[in-house]
A and B are shown apart, each in its own frame.
Chain A
Amino acid sequence: MVSSDSDVGNKSNRTGDVETNSETRSSVDRRRFLQAAGAGATVALAGCSGGGGDSGPVTLGATYILSGFASLYGEEAERGIEFAQSEINDNGGIDGRDVEVIVRDTEASADTAIQQIRSLVQEDDVDGLFGLDSSGVAQAVAPQVAQLQMPFMITHAATPFVTSPEGEHEDSVGNEYVFRDSNSLAQDIYGAARTAEELDATEWATIGPDYAFGYETWDYFQAYCDGLGVEAEFTAEQFPALATSDYTPFISSILDADPDAVLTPLWGADLTTFIGQAEDAGWFDQIDHTLFSVGMGTDYPSEGSPLPEGEYASTRYDPFVPDTETNNSFREAYYEEYESLPTYNAEGAYRALHLYKQAIESAGSTEADALVEEFTGMEHSGPVGDYELSETNQATVASVWGTVTYDEEWESNVLDPVDRYDAGPDVLSEALGDSDLPTGI
């Protein structure tokens, strides 16, 4: 995983090249000129592109992980896109215009994601952007989006720092162009702490990926347990690298510490590998409760790793809750089309297209700034329920946690029983207590 630090390095290198080529002039003047020219060109491109046009299709750019350890997420998002696209285009399009989506692979790399996003804006003249599966990538992308002055609706990447305004915390990179329609890690892990409150477990451990997402999950969980007064001790933690092929040493280390319960944000093929090796090591016999915070993203599709029944998992969207007409008809139609329940990544991508439709039709324009204005504080309703985009551009969706149960009718694991926790700004702020972690909402 490429961190945002490396991107800073790359940016410096590019600036360095410019300075080297302008030895005989004032490098500062030259640099300023190039920056101004670049910014001007970007604005001009955005202005004369789809943003200003009102004929032809509306073109959106999407970036997901389509290869490597988490390619399943990208494939699920593509289904959601395809489903929304035909739904919208078969029903009059967006203000009478068809919607087209160009999907690009980030390869789970911040560098690649940034290249793809720049290409989508500067070469494909898209009217808006959405996607992203990785917190590390999202954190690097957010400042780039502001520079490109193009709205970006994040549909999966969960770090709270992309919807925490720059300056609120040292890691905050939120800005007016970045929005998120799915729940954030801060909302999700609030539900984990509420679940922990109900469990007969005192000693807690974690095994998560060795980058921001793994550490943030554990930090927020401890902060919420503290704020909510959950009686918990945090006795072991392991952070193996992404795409580790053998988790057994880490599993063994956690088992040796013998905690009552474990919270794990492992995801993608890493989760599949982990579950298989954990079963071999007797994990689910020894550990009373395992909480999977990204589990249901891979559980419905046949290629995913079915979570062990009786354990706990969260989802950013549940195909059965809320029990509304919108959700039920979406689930039924999606199942008919793809013969599997919609994952949260499919629903998040599906909803992004509908959010753009609502914003474009309300603004009567595809101009980037008009869309940003529409998205800000927007109220929306979708399969996930009714919500609004908060002051920090974060959707006020619920935190959903439940027990993994196999459902004969749908031939799939589902969450049953399932709990929805209101995870709005006030709730999160109070639950975080004295912690300096931002709510991101």
Chain B
Amino acid sequence: MSLPSLVPLIGIADVVIGLSLGSRLFLIAVGLSLIFGVLGVLNFAHGGFYMLGAYVTLAVVTSVVDNFWLAAVAGALAVGVVGAVIEFAAIRRLYDRVDADLDQLIVTFGFVLVIHETVRFVWGSGSYSIDPPDVFNFSVSLGGSTFNAYRLVVIGLAVAVLVSLWLFITRTYFGSLVRGTSSDREMASMLGVDVPRLYTGVFFLGSVLAGLGGALSAPLQSTSPALGDQVIIDAFIVVVIGGLGSMSGAFVGAMLIGMMQSLGPQFISAGSIAIPFLAMVIVLLFRPEGLFGGIGE
């Protein structure tokens, strides 16, 4: 580790890169937060879902249809189906156990390994990358720094997802069921809500978001079996900082971590990876419920 640069130069590209890193973190963290907020399940396999989204997108765009957007939708939906099947086949059986939290943790961790090894079996252990869609694959030069225009698309889509989710949760009938069930599952059940189906639906939605995050990130990173492990840790930091169960918290937390990841190397040449952890420790010490602690906000 070297001495920190005393006068770091922060360019517009650093900010755009930070926000795009934050955007992809938001897409994975908001699903993680939603599932925890409603189902009370801390889904360790969420990083695997993100990775799977990237792989399916890569596979579709290279071997099925040469259209990134269709491939991204296919990636997100495929991961949603995988998530729903996992919830239906395994996690659902654990809700009423005495040590449900521990059992859920172990089962979802088991799926981390299953997804990881499946990906290795199907696609090998090497890494893959694809170009951004042609229409956005050009460099933007602003203030002496350069970034790929596709990053702006990812940022825009993350904001669109935030707004859509907020409208969905606050303005739709299904959203009111989700909010009601997350507040009091038994009461919702007594009022006729089909809680198991609702849970599967929420798990599907959370998984789709993770898959979408992986799909949209595929052109910005190399995709390898290590991807899921890397991103799940960052996603946990995001939801701890933002507040478990809070959508706006996930957004703000993700953008904060994204900016730390982007600007960290300006201040410290090695070990900048530790800065988000430090931020998490500070939040846990002084505001343990997170910056936006609460459910369904």
Contacts and interface: CB of A to CB of B under 8 A. Distances in A.
B265 A249 contact: yes
B266 interface: yes
B261 A249 contact: yes
A34 interface: no
A317 B146 CA distance: 36
Contacts of B120: 67
Nearest to A245: B221
Interface string B206-228: 00000000000000111110110
Interface in A37-82: 67-69, 71-72
B221 A246 contact: yes
Identify the interface centre among A71, A210, A248, A273: most chain B CB within 10 Å of its CB: A248
Contacts of A210: 270-271
Interface string A250-269: 10110111000000000001
Interface stretch (B11-19, B156-164, B276-284): B11-19
Nearest to A286: B146
B62 interface: no
Contacts of B126: 68-69, 71-72, 269, 303
B220 A248 contact: yes
Contacts of A237: 2, 269-270
Contact of B146 (A69, A249, A282): A282
Contact of A246 (B8, B14, B125, B220): B220
Identify the interface centre among A239, A257, A269, A280: most chain B CB within 10 Å of its CB: A280
A269 B127 CA distance: 7
A115 B2 CA distance: 34
B129 A276 contact: yes
Contact of A273 (B127, B263, B264): B127
Contacts, number: 107
A102 interface: no
B139 A69 contact: no
Interface string B1-33: 110010011110110011001000000000000
A249 B139 contact: no
A249 B21 contact: yes
B145 A252 contact: yes
Interface in B100-147: 120, 124-127, 129, 139, 141, 145-147
Contacts of A238: 265, 269-270
B265 A281 contact: no
A241 interface: yes
Contacts of B129: 272-273, 276
B170 interface: no
Contact of B13 (A69, A71, A252): A252
B276 to A, nearest CB: 12
B224 A248 contact: no
Contacts of A68: 125-126, 224, 226
Contact of B224 (A236, A269, A303): A269
Given A253-B265, A256-B14, A241 B273 contact: yes
Interface residues of B, number: 43
B142 to A, nearest CB: 12
Contact of B266 (A72, A253, A276): A253
A256 B125 contact: no
Nearest to A256: B9
Identify the interface centre among B17, B18, B147, B270: most chain A CB within 10 Å of its CB: B270
Nearest to B2: A237
Given A68-B125, A210-B270, A252 B11 contact: yes
A239 B269 contact: yes
Given A272-B127, A281-B13, A281-B146, A239 B262 contact: no
Interface in B171-225: 220-224
A243 interface: yes
B220 A256 contact: no
What bracket does the count of chain A residues touching chain B fall in?
A: 20 to 34
Nearest to B24: A246
A109 to B, nearest CB: 13
Contact of B222 (A241, A255, A269): A269
B262 A252 contact: yes
Interface string B250-277: 0000000000011111100111110000
B224 A69 contact: yes
Contacts of A281: 13, 139, 146-148
A4 B174 CA distance: 54
Contacts of A67: 120, 124-125
B230 interface: yes
A321 B86 CA distance: 57
B238 to A, nearest CB: 16
B168 to A, nearest CB: 29
B10 A256 contact: yes
B224 A245 contact: yes
Contacts of A255: 11, 13, 145-146
Contact of A256 (B145, B148, B221): B145
A245 B222 contact: yes
Contacts of A272: 127, 129, 222
B250 to A, nearest CB: 20
A240 B268 CA distance: 11
A255 B145 CA distance: 8
A248 B17 contact: yes
A210 B1 CA distance: 9
Contacts of A252: 11, 13-14, 17, 145, 262, 265
A250 B127 CA distance: 19
A210 B269 CA distance: 10
A282 B227 CA distance: 25
B125 A71 contact: yes
A44 to B, nearest CB: 38
A210 to B, nearest CB: 5
Identify the interface centre among B21, B220, B222, B224: most chain A CB within 10 Å of its CB: B222
A249 B145 contact: no
Contact of B148 (A72, A249, A280): A280
Contacts of B14: 249, 252-253, 256
A250 B261 CA distance: 9
24 contacts: A68-B125, A68-B226, A69-B127, A69-B226, A71-B125, A72-B126, A210-B271, A238-B265, A238-B270, A239-B1, A245-B222, A245-B224, A245-B226, A246-B220, A248-B17, A249-B262, A255-B145, A269-B126, A269-B127, A272-B222, A273-B127, A273-B221, A281-B139, A303-B126
Given A67-B125, A210-B270, 16 more contacts: A67-B124, A68-B126, A68-B226, A72-B126, A236-B269, A245-B227, A249-B261, A249-B263, A249-B264, A252-B145, A256-B9, A257-B5, A273-B129, A281-B147, A282-B139, A282-B146
